[in-house]
Structure 1
Amino acid sequence: MRMVFALVLIAGIGLAGFAVYMAQSYMEEMSAERDRLRAAQAASPPMIDLVVVQTDKAYGQVLGRDDVKWMRWQKDSVPTGAFVRDTTGFPEGKVQGSDALFPEGMPDRFVITSMTQFEPLLAQKVTDPGEDAGLTSRLSKGMRAFAIRVDVSSGVSGFLRPGDRVDVYWTGATAAAERRGNITKLIESSMKLIAVDQIADTARTTPVIARTVTVEASPQQVAKLTQAQSSGKLSLSLVGAEDDTVAEVSQVDQRSLLGIVDQAPVEIEEKRVCTTKIRRGADVIVQEIPCPQ
């Protein structure tokens, strides 16, 4: 019995020692993993909370409290205009630079630029609370909206859409250039389209044969375009999305288009003729003679 008791005691001590060894190894492994995680966290860029949309949103849709949520975002990659959680003490729901994204008792906001799920919500993509999604929300400070009449030829075959930029050409006749025919001249370069007909959604991709397009223009440009539209025909030329070159002032008339060069009038020297009269009886004869030098 003593032998059995001794064997059981030795086995128990061995198992206890093995358990202690395994526990110590597990604790050391967990400690090393914790240190690795802390080191990785310290090496990673700082994060911050910002507002994202929870579902796809199209132009004109209502954006309410249930359509957005907070999401962790890399601090050095926050886009301009994002709604960021202020970590200095603002309560839940407050955002930096505003009393609240959705103030209590205030109407909802409207989407003015399409967004996809989990895309950061930007101030320039939504209206202020209660403001509609009309053209007034798309205009920059000091700018005006001006409508230009177009057709299938002058409107780039219907491939214009809000957000595009266009050059504006005027074709007409002037009193000073009447003998040269109509002229075509570039009058405005790289103007921004804010609507095509009654469509202001920049996400539209299907071609539309528009009757009018609306551009963003300064008051001086509005006066210039009004005069041009009333005295001739306006045509649009689509500018490439990545094209930042400034179009040169250009003008073409019918004669230069056809390669007709104005020539100076040729002076024709009149031949000098000298005569003398000779009387023979009752007859008078006119006879040509050499002219004196």
Structure 2
Amino acid sequence: MRLDNSRESSNIEDRRGRRMRLGGRGGKIGLGTIVLALVAMYFGIDPSVVLQNTTDPGSSYVSEEGQPPQATAETQFVAKVLAETEDTWTAIFNEKGWGTYPAPKLVLFNGATPTACGTGQSAMGPFYCPADSKVYLDLSFFQQMEQQLNSPGDFARAYVIAHEVAHHVQHVLGITDQIEHARQRSGGSAANQLSVRTELQADCLAGVWGKYSDSQRNILEAGDIEEALNAASAIGDDRLQKKAQGYVVPDSFTHGSSAQRVRWFKQGFESGDPARCDTFGASTL
């Protein structure tokens, strides 16, 4: 990616210098931690479903101030990618007549951190919390992408950020609330299908961001799109289930198969049009 001339976003909240200790009664981790282990490496986990179960009732994470975090090439990269999403979605909101784009904060943390959706943990991978309009990211996930998911590359990392920001776009446009209400009424595999369509739309919107940002500021280099497609494929439900348990259960999908995630990212990138990201109206995914 060509980001040398890109500005750095000021919407970074760096909590990496804070240590987290488990407070409350006994300091025990509950069943939710086991559940989180099953969904580790997923993008865009619904925190209202998962985060609230990360600790036993009566327990809480307490923040302790530590040394101020130091800026690194990695944090500068994150700040520049976030700025690219801000500039792109501000322009798209203006063009579409959607009003002013309220850019989200991106929180960098280590291990665990409090959120308005509950306690966030690194094992969850990056996630978006609609209750506080913040994206949460432990930078160690980038190492996991390279070492465990075989998804290296700067644009693969940018795709992660763009996908979570796309969840913010969905929230701002009211899509998140509509789908959550529908999920609560549906339950079971029908609710899972709505989650899949939500995640695939975020993949598509991430593609729209990539196309628009490149058309305006020429940020992409040879091989960048392949990096994003490889990352999208690596975190498909089918591939993760096969790796974790040796078999695939399509009815339990929440994010979509590898092929679906690749298809919808390509749909967004090739069209550059958010209107082409209507996964909820699509007859096939």
TM-score between the two structures when normalised by the length of structure 2: 0.23
Structure with greater helix share of residues: 2
Structure with greater strand share of residues: 1
Q: Max radius of gyration: which structure? A: 1
- The structure with higher relative contact order (CA 8 Å, sep 6+) is 2
